[in-house]
């Protein structure tokens, strides 16, 4: 006997009840009433809305997985799925399509701010050949596995940039290595009096950003990896944007590193917020 009481979707029963009381939820809800409204509202905002792209992605993947599951089923099950299950679901699928089209139109009616667009353009340079263009517009569209790899790669590079921007001194250390090739970091302190560069680099620079050669005579030498070069190029490009230059003029007492990180966190909170 199938469990018809299971409720799919991404909202919890208490969240549905809260939205129902606010006249935002169409349909009936379970008898369980909402919890403290402030808690429910906060969870909807911070767990659902703030991660809506992930919510939609998971929902899409689940539908695709079910479809693939049925394609691998027996001929009888395939026939039932295509001629009965999908037929019964057609009206809901059409409603979902209209809802998605409406959300897309709403997104297009509210263009990205000039600041976010400028910053995003520099971030795209960091991704290099990591291209997530619309598969429908591509002559050789990537398959689902390739798209997942490309998305993961973008997230990885974003995390590398966040690592550099989160620690005082790392941008300068990265730039020094980039400008001098394989080099030592001994004899230099952050801002002239803080920690030694070599100590910070040894502790904070991940191997994906700079390789450390300890077989050389004397102090270890560092050399940027491809990821390190991409992050450095992005860091330098961000400093040259009009957005960052304006913020630097308005906040002369703050470091450029901190201004860049805070600005990215404002426009891209998913990747650059602590």
Per-10-residue mean pLDDT, the chain, length 274? 52 80 76 67 80 84 84 85 88 89 78 84 80 51 69 90 95 96 91 91 92 79 95 97 94 94 90 81
pLDDT score, position 79: 87
Contact 178, 224 (CB under 8 A): yes
pLDDT score, position 269: 86
Q: Phi-psi region for residue 27, left (φ > 0), alpha (ψ -120 to 50) or beta?
A: left
Domain ranges of the chain: 13-112, 116-272
Neighbours of 225 (CB within 10 A): 15
pLDDT score, position 232: 97
DSSP 192: G
At a CB cut-off of 8 Å and minimum separation 6, what does 228 contact?
160, 174, 177, 178, 208, 209, 210
At a CB cut-off of 8 Å and minimum separation 6, what does 30 contact?
7, 13, 16, 17
pLDDT score, position 258: 95
């Amino acid at each position: 006997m199938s469990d018809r009481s299971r409720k799919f979707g991404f909202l919890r029963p208490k969240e549905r009840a809260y939205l129902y009381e606010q006249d935002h939820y169409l349909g009936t809800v379970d008898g369980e009433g909402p919890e403290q409204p402030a808690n429910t509202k906060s969870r909807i905002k911070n767990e659902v809305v703030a991660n809506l792209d992930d919510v939609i992605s998971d929902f899409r993947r689940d539908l695709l997985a079910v479809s693939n599951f049925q394609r691998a089923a027996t001929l009888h099950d395939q026939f039932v799925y295509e001629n009965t299950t999908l037929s019964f679901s057609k009206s809901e699928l059409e409603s979902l399509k209209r809802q998605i089209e409406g959300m897309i139109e709403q997104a297009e009616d509210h263009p990205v701010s000039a600041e976010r667009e400028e910053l995003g353009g520099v971030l795209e340079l960091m991704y290099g050949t990591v291209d997530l263009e619309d598969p429908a517009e591509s002559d050789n569209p990537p398959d689902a596995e390739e798209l997942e790899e490309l998305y993961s790669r973008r997230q990885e590079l974003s995390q590398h940039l966040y690592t550099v921007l989160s620690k005082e001194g790392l941008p300068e250390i990265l730039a020094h290595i980039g400008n001098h090739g394989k080099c030592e970091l001994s004899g230099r302190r952050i801002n002239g009096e803080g920690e030694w560069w070599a100590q910070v680099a040894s502790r904070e620079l991940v191997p994906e950003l700079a390789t450390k050669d300890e077989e050389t005579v004397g102090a270890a030498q560092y050399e940027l990896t491809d990821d390190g070069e991409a992050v450095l190029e992005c860091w330098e490009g961000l400093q040259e944007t009009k957005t960052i230059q304006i913020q630097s003029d308005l906040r002369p007492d703050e470091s450029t590193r901190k201004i860049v990180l805070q600005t990215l966190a404002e426009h891209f909170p998913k990747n650059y917020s602590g």
